[in-house]
């Protein structure tokens, strides 16, 4: 009776295992084996070996289905009856089940179920595991000669398989057959269609991804595959593209405080990766090799990225139809827009280049050699997944297990973990009664330790990974809602039983690089979008980084949006990727940040670049410290500063020649109307620049005014990037296209192409050429013109343009003689408007080069100081301008104008005249500025002339406060303005009544405002001025003189 009960119980147990291993309804695939029996479309959605282990492994918390098994009476009686029986496979006693747990997990129970897998003992292909190096693999191969391990292959797709019965499987003779049997096309669920590799995919163009970290990880070894004494080492991924890959700058990101770089090297996919001798897909007559590659690549991507890393396919790939001729919408024709192909390089075969990089743990993807095919990589991973950690520890050094990846189940859910340490106890030899730890643990190969468990210790990840500072984060948070933050991952400490963990055959290097792929692919897609925009606009950038920089908002860098990964990828990187130790002490040097950047020397003649940097470091206040950005990840502020000047010059030069009858005031208002943020925002919206923005904000929730300001800044930054890359001509073409898209009527009104500009400038120069030659004083004027050119070095070829540049608005009848010459433009006001735009452009260009690591707020202030009227007046006076200015007689006699303003205007007018004579070339104007103006920049910084007296005084107050370790209060108080004062030899603004010649013309009107300056509650100085700011500047200037600080006018 007992024997009958036992027999019936065993039959029911076998039937249950059959039902569990081959269900009729499909369930999600497990992660413990990559092939899922080669992805058969029959009723094999999961790995039978994994399900059997899941059933047999003891759990503290069990699911209802497992409770049902363990709590029924028949199972209890079966457990009691067979408890002391011998295992029919290994003879071990003290069993819980019909087979011992070791044999049960090795897959030998298939002998009693169905002949679907091999029945050879475990470890015959253990030398293929990645935790072995070449020497160990060779030793293992000598000790245990390899035997063939059958890999299950499903029946061909043409054979119908009933849904109610399991698919019959036939083993292949060797796991690495020369002509592998083509597996049945794996069925991809709708969520997996992004991973699909269509049979119509003929992509061979790809990027070789070169990954580099700034420090070495803890794991010094790479994932290694040993096949028939050939050693293959993991060396990154290929990113397979369906179109010609464009030139792609490197991608930089920060993970856990460690900066990493990804370089993109365009190549053709090697044919060895496909398992063929040629990349010509059409040459494959039967198409079997191509279909095998497509199926294997789909399974490999699904196993590594979806199942092990847990990344959703939609976060990696999109869906396309690779062949337009087969774009009917059928699911089999859908293909991922990109594919990730792992690279395993043969280290003992030729050719092999850059082998030193192959053994650098912080550099992946730099070696070149023969590669292992995708099919064999997949077969290797399938074989590795059959072995448990227990099997490894019994045969190999336990220390080699650290930094390997194992798969297991936690509360019934498949998971993968990095092995960080082994929970061990020393083994006591000579004791007749082994300790309990030895009974439940595993004795290491050397016999000295007992491994109780394998431990995983991950430190987690924090929000705002790679962000600049909390202060900057708060600043941006006040403007809008962030689109996404770096996922926060809590630290995890987990101990796992070795017998319940399966090997994956992969180390941390593959998962470290693989977990970064969502960020890399997002970068690639954005850059492809930028390339599409550049192509549509006819732009060809020599430096591709400038194009991306033009659309990178400061919040994108300060908040660390470049480093934001998906939640699943971040969690997998923490649990499966590299461990970098001592990152807190990591100091990133400027040379490392700027590696690969081209240093731009100072352009100004007589300016020593190193001297300028030393002066800037010493005399610039703490608010203007250098901000070191790699040119691959840099905000657009500097380009926007330059582009603002470019845009102003383009509009001014076109309006000046397009509207010859408009006065200076109308020209100025026209430029303001075109370049204001509201209009630029509309033009940017018409061009859809918003879709190219890189910001930390959720643009759908961002305030429209802020969004318009950002897009307008990007518009200017794009012009700045194009000017820096190619000069002014492409900028003018781009502006014309964008203006035509936004408002064709506005474009027609005040825009000129480069060719039209040259023609109109030539007409402008020729207008007065014939008339001036009829002038009675033409010869004497020519002599004055030559003397000016010899004295100042400013070469204006045409005398009538030179006269126009020096003619003040007061130089008109009846204040002049009847025989004086006045051209079609009666004064320099119009051409001074043009010269001002030229000066703004070239001074901005100079400052961007002179201060390569300072941002827009400093550049703006220095430019204001460099081109302000007092500075230009000093330059013009030293160049001899004052002698040649043409003024009306009344102004000469009364002197009622600010002579500094006139000198500055004349200087700018001469720049405009030089440009009109050379409209296609800015070099002649640039040469004048480099000789007269730009060399004064060093002294201007040393003397803090870029700061007004009030800012200089507050700078010294802050320095004195820090040195005395206590704050020094400083404030202004308004006082009663003094009465009328008369100053000698001071030219005052022109009086409204020009006809009165009295002494009052030299008398200042009563100042409108007066202030007193108090320091430490003591009155230090008093001063008056036309405005409050002017009065405060005057008071601070007096105070600085009292404190012994002298401000220089030059």
**Angle, alpha carbons 285-287-288 (nearest 5°):** 120
Q: What is the pLDDT of residue 1019?
A: 92
Give start and end residues of each alpha helix (H) in 57-194: 64-71, 73-81, 101-105, 134-143
Q: Among the options 509, 568, 836, 856, which is catalytic?
A: 836
More confident residue, 560 or 851: 560
**Quick one: 768-947 is in which CATH superfamily?**
Ribonuclease III domain (1.10.1520.10)
- What pLDDT digit, counting tens, does each position of 498-517 carry? 888 999 999 999 999 999 99
- What pLDDT digit, counting tens, does each position of 653-689 carry? 999 999 999 999 999 999 999 999 999 999 999 999 9
| 143, pLDDT greater than 90 | no
- Please give the Cα distance from 1008 to 1026 (Å, whole number): 5
Residue with tokens 């730009």: 934
- What pLDDT digit, counting tens, does each position of 535-545 carry? 999 999 999 99
Structure tokens at 928: 């004048």
Q: What is the pLDDT of residue 709?
A: 93
State the pLDDT confidence band at 441, using cuts at 50, 70 and 90.
Answer: confident
958-1050, what's its fold? Double Stranded RNA Binding Domain (3.30.160)
- Please give the Cα distance from 8 to 920 (Å, whole number): 98
Residue with tokens 């480069």: 754
- Please give the Cα distance from 896 to 892 (Å, whole number): 8
State the pLDDT confidence band at 723, using cuts at 50, 70 and 90.
Answer: very high
- What pLDDT digit, counting tens, does each position of 219-263 carry? 999 999 998 889 999 999 999 998 888 899 999 999 988 999 999
Q: Tell me if the bond preceding 814 is cis, omega within 30° of 0.
A: yes
Farthest CA pair distance, the chain? 141
527-564+635-759, what's its fold? Ribonuclease iii, N-terminal Endonuclease Domain; Chain A (1.10.1520)
Q: For this structure, is 908 an active site residue?
A: yes
More confident residue, 989 or 925: 925
Half-sphere exposure of 865 (CA within 13 A, CB side): 26
DSSP element (H, E) containing 297: helix 288-301
- What pLDDT digit, counting tens, does each position of 586-640 carry? 766 655 555 555 444 444 444 455 565 666 655 555 556 677 788 899 999 999 9
- Please give the Cα distance from 727 to 542 (Å, whole number): 12
Residue 414 dihedral angles phi and psi, to the nearest 5°: -65, 140
State the pLDDT confidence band at 991, using cuts at 50, 70 and 90.
Answer: very low
Structure tokens at 69: 């098994």
Nearest to 734 by CA among 876, 550, 590, 882: 550
Q: Among the options 908, 917, 930, 1033, which is catalytic?
A: 908
Region(s) of the chain under CATH 3.30.160.20 = 958-1050
Say which range, 129-133, 581-585, 810-814, has the weakest mean pLDDT: 129-133
For CA atoms 960, 962, 964, 967, the dihedral sign is positive
Tell me the residue length of the chain: 1050
Structure tokens at 295: 């199926």
Region(s) of the chain under CATH 1.10.1520.10 = 527-564+635-759, 768-947
Residue-by-residue DSSP string for 312-362? -GGGT--EE-S-GGG-S--GGG-EESEEEEEEEEESSSS-EE-HHHHT-TT
- What pLDDT digit, counting tens, does each position of 838-872 carry? 999 999 999 888 888 877 888 888 888 788 888 89
Please give, one letter per residue, the 3-state secondary structure of 409-438.
EECCEEEEEECCEEEEEECCCCCCCCCHHH
Residue-by-residue DSSP string for 862-914? HHHHHSSHHHHHHHHHHTT-GGG-B--HHHHHH--S-HHHHHHHHHHHHHHHH
Question: What number is the average pLDDT over the span 923-952?
Answer: 81
State the pLDDT confidence band at 890, using cuts at 50, 70 and 90.
Answer: confident
Q: Tell me if the bond preceding 351 is cis, omega within 30° of 0.
A: yes
For CA atoms 100, 103, 107, 109, the dihedral sign is negative
| 162, pLDDT greater than 90 | no
Strand partners, 457: 493
For CA atoms 440, 445, 449, 453, the dihedral sign is negative
State the pLDDT confidence band at 465, using cuts at 50, 70 and 90.
Answer: confident
Say which range, 97-106, 329-338, 487-496, 516-525, has the weakest mean pLDDT: 97-106
Q: Tell me if the bond preceding 612 is cis, omega within 30° of 0.
A: no
Q: Identify whether the C-beta of residue 270 lies closer than 8 Å to the C-beta of residue 341.
A: no
- Please give the Cα distance from 640 to 215 (Å, whole number): 34
Q: What is the pLDDT of residue 619?
A: 54
Strand locations in 168-318 (E):
169-171, 205-213, 224-227, 230-241, 251-255, 258-268
More confident residue, 625 or 273: 273
Q: What is the average pLDDT value for the chain, to the nearest integer? A: 77
Q: What is the pLDDT of residue 69?
A: 35
Say which range, 190-199, 802-811, 958-967, 1003-1012, has the weakest mean pLDDT: 1003-1012
- Please give the Cα distance from 537 to 740 (Å, whole number): 12
Residue with tokens 């003040």: 808
State the pLDDT confidence band at 438, using cuts at 50, 70 and 90.
Answer: low
């Amino acid at each position: 009776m007992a024997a009958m009960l036992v027999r019936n119980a065993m039959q029911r147990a076998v039937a249950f295992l059959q039902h569990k291993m081959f269900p009729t309804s499909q369930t999600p695939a497990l992660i413990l084996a990559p092939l899922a029996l080669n992805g058969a479309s029959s009723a094999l959605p999961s790995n039978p070996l994994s399900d059997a282990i899941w059933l047999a492994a003891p759990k503290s918390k069990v699911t209802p289905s497992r409770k049902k098994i363990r709590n029924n009476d028949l199972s209890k009686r079966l457990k009691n009856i067979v408890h002391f029986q011998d295992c029919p496979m290994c003879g071990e006693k003290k069993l819980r089940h019909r087979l011992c747990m070791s044999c049960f997990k090795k897959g030998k129970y298939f002998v009693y179920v169905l002949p679907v897998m091999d029945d050879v003992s475990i470890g015959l292909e253990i030398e293929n595991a990645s935790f072995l190096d070449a020497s160990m693999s060779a030793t293992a191969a000598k000790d245990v000669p390899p035997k063939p391990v059958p890999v299950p292959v499903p029946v061909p797709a043409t054979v119908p398989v009933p849904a109610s019965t399991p698919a019959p499987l036939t083993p292949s003779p060797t796991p690495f057959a020369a002509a592998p049997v083509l597996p049945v096309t794996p069925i991809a669920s709708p969520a997996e269609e992004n991973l699909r590799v269509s049979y119509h995919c003929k992509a061979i163009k790809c990027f070789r991804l070169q990954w580099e970290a700034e420090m070495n990880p803890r794991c010094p070894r790479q994932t290694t595959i040993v096949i028939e004494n050939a050693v293959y080492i993991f060396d990154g991924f290929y990113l397979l593209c369906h179109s010609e890959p464009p030139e792609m700058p490197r991608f930089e990101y920060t993970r856990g405080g460690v900066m990493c770089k990804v370089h993109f090297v365009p190549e053709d996919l090697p044919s060895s990766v496909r398992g063929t001798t040629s990349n010509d897909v059409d040459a494959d007559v039967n198409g079997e090799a191509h279909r095998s590659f497509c199926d294997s690549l789909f399974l490999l991507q699904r196993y590594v990225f979806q199942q092990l890393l847990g990344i959703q396919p939609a976060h990696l790939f999109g869906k396309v139809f690779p062949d337009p001729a087969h774009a009917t919408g059928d699911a089999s024709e859908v293909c991922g827009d990109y594919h990730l192909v792992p690279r395993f390089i043969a280290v003992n075969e030729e050719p092999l280049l850059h082998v030193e990089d192959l053994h650098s743990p912080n550099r992946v993807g730099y070696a070149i050699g023969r590669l292992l095919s995708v099919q064999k990589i997949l077969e290797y991973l399938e074989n590795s997944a059959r072995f448990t950690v227990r099997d490894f520890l019994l045969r190999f050094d336990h220390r080699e297990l650290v930094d390997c990846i194992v798969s297991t189940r936690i509360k019934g859910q498949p998971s993968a973990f990095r092995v960080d340490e082994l929970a061990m106890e020393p083994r006591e030899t000579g004791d007749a009664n082994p300790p309990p730890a030895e009974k439940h643990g595993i004795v290491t190969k050397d016999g000295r330790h007992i491994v109780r468990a394998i431990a995983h210790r991950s430190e987690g990840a924090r929000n705002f990974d790679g962000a600049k500072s909390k202060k900057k984060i708060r600043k941006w948070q006040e403007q809008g809602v962030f689109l996404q933050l770096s996922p926060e991952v809590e630290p995890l400490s987990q101990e796992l039983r070795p017998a319940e963990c399966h090997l994956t055959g992969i180390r941390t290097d593959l998962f470290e690089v693989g977990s970064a792929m969502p960020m890399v692919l997002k970068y690639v897609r954005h850059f492809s979008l930028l390339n599409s925009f550049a192509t549509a606009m006819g732009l060809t950038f020599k430096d591709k980084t400038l194009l991306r920089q033009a659309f990178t908002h400061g919040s994108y860098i300060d908040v660390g949006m470049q480093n934001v990964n998906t939640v699943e990828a971040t969690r997998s990187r923490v649990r499966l990727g590299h461990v970098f130790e001592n990152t807190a002490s990591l100091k990133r040097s400027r040379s490392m940040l700027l590696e690969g950047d081209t240093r731009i020397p100072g352009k100004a003649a007589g300016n020593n670049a190193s001297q300028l940097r030393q002066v800037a470091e010493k005399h610039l206040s703490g608010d203007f410290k250098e901000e070191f950005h790699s040119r691959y990840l840099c905000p657009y502020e500097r380009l926007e500063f330059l582009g603002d000047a470019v845009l102003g010059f383009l509009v001014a030069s076109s309006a000046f020649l397009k509207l010859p009858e408009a006065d200076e005031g109308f020209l100025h208002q026209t430029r303001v109307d075109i370049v204001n943020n509201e209009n630029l925002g509309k033009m940017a919206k018409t061009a859809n620049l918003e879709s190219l923005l890189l910001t930390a904000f959720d643009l759908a929730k961002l305030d429209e005014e802020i969004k318009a300001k950002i897009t307008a800044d990007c518009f200017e930054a794009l012009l700045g990037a194009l000017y820096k890359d190619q000069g002014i001509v492409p900028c003018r073409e781009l502006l014309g296209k964008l203006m035509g898209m936004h408002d064709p009527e506005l474009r027609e009104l005040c825009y000129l192409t480069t060719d039209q500009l040259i023609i109109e400038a030539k007409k402008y120069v020729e207008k007065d050429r014939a008339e001036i030659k009829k002038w009675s004083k033409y010869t004497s004027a020519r002599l004055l013109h030559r003397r000016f050119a010899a004295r100042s070095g400013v070469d204006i070829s045409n005398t009538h343009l030179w006269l126009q540049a020096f003619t003040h608005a007061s130089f008109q009848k009846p204040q002049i003689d009847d025989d004086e010459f006045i051209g079609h433009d009666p004064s320099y006001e119009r051409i001074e408007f043009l010269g001002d735009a030229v000066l703004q452009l070239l001074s901005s260009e100079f400052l961007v080069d002179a201060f390569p690591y300072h941002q827009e707020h400093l550049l703006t202030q220095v430019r204001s100081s460099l081109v302000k009227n007092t500075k230009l007046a000093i330059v013009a006076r030293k160049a001899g301008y004052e002698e040649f200015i043409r003024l009306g007689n009344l102004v000469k006699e009364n002197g009622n104008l600010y002579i500094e303003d006139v000198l500055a205007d004349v200087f700018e007018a001469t720049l405009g005249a030089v440009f009109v004579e050379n409209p296609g070339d800015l070099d002649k104007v640039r040469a004048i500025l480099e000789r007269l103006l730009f060399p004064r920049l060093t002294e201007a910084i040393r003397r803090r002339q870029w700061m007004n007296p009030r800012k200089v005084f507050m700078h010294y107050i802050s320095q004195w406060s820090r040195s005395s370790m206590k704050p020094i209060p400083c404030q202004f108080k308004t006082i009663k303005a003094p009465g009328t004062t008369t100053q000698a030899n001071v030219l005052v603004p022109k009086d409204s009544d020009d006809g009165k010649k009295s002494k009052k013309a030299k008398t200042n009107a009563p100042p409108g405002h007066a202030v007193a300056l108090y320091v430490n509650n003591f009155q230090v100085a008093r001063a008056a001025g036309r405005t409050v700011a002017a009065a405060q500047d005057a008071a601070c200037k007096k105070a600085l003189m009292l404190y012994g600080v002298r401000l220089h006018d030059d």
